[in-house]
Amino acid sequence: MGFESLPKVKLAYLPTPLEEMKQARKRIGGPRLFLKRDDQTGLGLGGNKLRKLEYLLGDALARGADTVVTSGVMQTNHGRLTAAACAKLGLDCILVMTEADCGYYEANRILQELFGAKQVFADVDYSVAPEKLAKEQLRAGDAKIAQVMDELRRAGKKPYLIPRAGRSLQGTASYCQAMLELQQQLEEQDIHAGHVIVPVASGSTFGGVLLGGRICEMQAKFHGIALSRSAEEGKEMIEEEFNHDAAAMGYPYRIKQEEINLYGEYIGAGYGIMTEAGKNAIRLFAETEGILLDPVYTGKAMAGYLDLLAKGAFRKDETVIFFHTGGLPLLFLKEVGLWLGEKNQ
């Protein structure tokens, strides 16, 4: 079958640029560094999820859906872009938030409201032990999704459910396509990629990059920087998704956990919590390149690259490709303003 045969709609500005970080390299040294600018996909302030939504909403329209339901935390980049894409395509959008209403609007929540999405909140039991809260949020989110889907069907609607973060066959397919796009850019610019680095949360983007790398026979080493869960859990999820989706699309490729390079030491105190190394990476690329990294994903992932560079993981004569997955509205969270205010006192 192949990923090319899946339904798709046009949403993103593609191909995204492949941009060399010459000024940053003058400061940090090391190999040539290029950013694959998937923060520049266009619609809704851009980001990697828009590639996935081209396939997911293509499938939704092919199935005759009129309403899209998805979920995530309050500041979900996936929710923001789903809301923007639904607005463009004339679909109703319902976002199930897996946390309580904080009572104020900032960053992605502002955009989700402007794009016309309906935001509903899961009934999370916050009395559970702190280490069980993440699972409780997922449980509460699933319960609310089931309720919302049932209500829509009873009302005569045709809802389409998108998994959290777009983790799906379509999500994997979108980054198979992105890798073929990248391969063409590398060939046109006569660049040999020695390493490819990807921020990793749900693992869907990294899994697609790994499968796409196999499809286009790219001779590079692939590195994932885990940002929301342990490397062990992430590898298990990526192995499962990769093998399922490769088989579903008719590809012979399979992967084992020991083949997946996923680093779990850059999460810091937890998902969404800024690290000092991440802050430094954000500052560095803003000051040297005018490039904005976000505090949740790309800032921490770039901090991972800088640490690996300091440890000698890359030779100076190699070339590194870093997928900039977006998330820029997260720079407008209150925590970022407090950090910068403290920095300037």
Q: Is the peptide bond before 159 cis (omega within 30 degrees of 0)?
A: no
3-47+167-343 topology per CATH: Rossmann fold (3.40.50)
Q: CA-CA distance, 288 to 24, in Å (whole number)?
A: 5
49-166 topology per CATH: Rossmann fold (3.40.50)
**pLDDT (tens digit per residue) in 275-287:** 999 999 999 999 9
Q: Which helix (H) or strand (E) holds 34?
A: strand 32-37
Same fold across 3-47+167-343 and 49-166? yes
Predicted confidence at residue 344, as pLDDT, reads: 67
Phi-psi region of 103 (alpha: psi -120 to 50; beta: other; left: phi over 0): left
Q: What long-range pairs does 233-240 form, CB within 8 A, spacing at least 24?
A: 234/200, 234/203, 234/262, 234/264, 235/260, 235/262, 237/202, 237/203, 238/200, 238/203, 238/206, 238/207, 238/210, 238/262
The residue behind tokens 């929540």 is: 109
The DSSP annotation for 48-96 comes to THHHHHHHHHHHHHHTT-SEEEEEE-TT-HHHHHHHHHHHHHT-EEEEE
Q: With cut-offs at 50, 70 and 90, classify the pLDDT of residue 131.
A: confident
Q: List beta partners, residue 20.
A: 34
Check pLDDT > 80 for residue 343.
Answer: no
Phi and psi dihedrals of 199, rounded to 5? -65, 140
Residues 146-177 as b/e (b if ≥16 CB within 10 A, e otherwise) read eebbeebeeeebebbbbbbbbbbbbbbbbbbb
Query: pTM of the predicted model, to two decimals?
Result: 0.96
Q: CA-CA distance, 115 to 80, in Å (whole number)?
A: 8
Neighbours of 23 (CB within 10 A): 15
Predicted confidence at residue 1, as pLDDT, reads: 72
**DSSP code of residue 23:** H
**pLDDT (tens digit per residue) in 152-210:** 999 999 999 999 999 999 999 999 999 999 999 999 999 999 999 999 999 999 999 99
Q: Residues 199-222: what's their mean pLDDT?
A: 97
**pLDDT (tens digit per residue) in 84-118:** 999 999 999 999 999 999 899 999 999 999 999 99
Q: Give the start-to-end residue ranges of the domains of the chain.
A: 3-47+167-343, 49-166
Phi and psi dihedrals of 22, rounded to 5? -70, -40
Query: How many CA atoms lie within 13 Å of 192's alpha carbon, on the beta-carbon side?
Result: 4
Q: Which helix (H) or strand (E) holds 231?
A: helix 231-248
Question: Tokens in use for 178?
Answer: 């992105």
What SS3 class is residue 323?
Answer: strand
Q: CA-CA distance, 90 to 280, in Å (whole number)?
A: 41
Pick the residue with more confidence: 2 or 53?
53
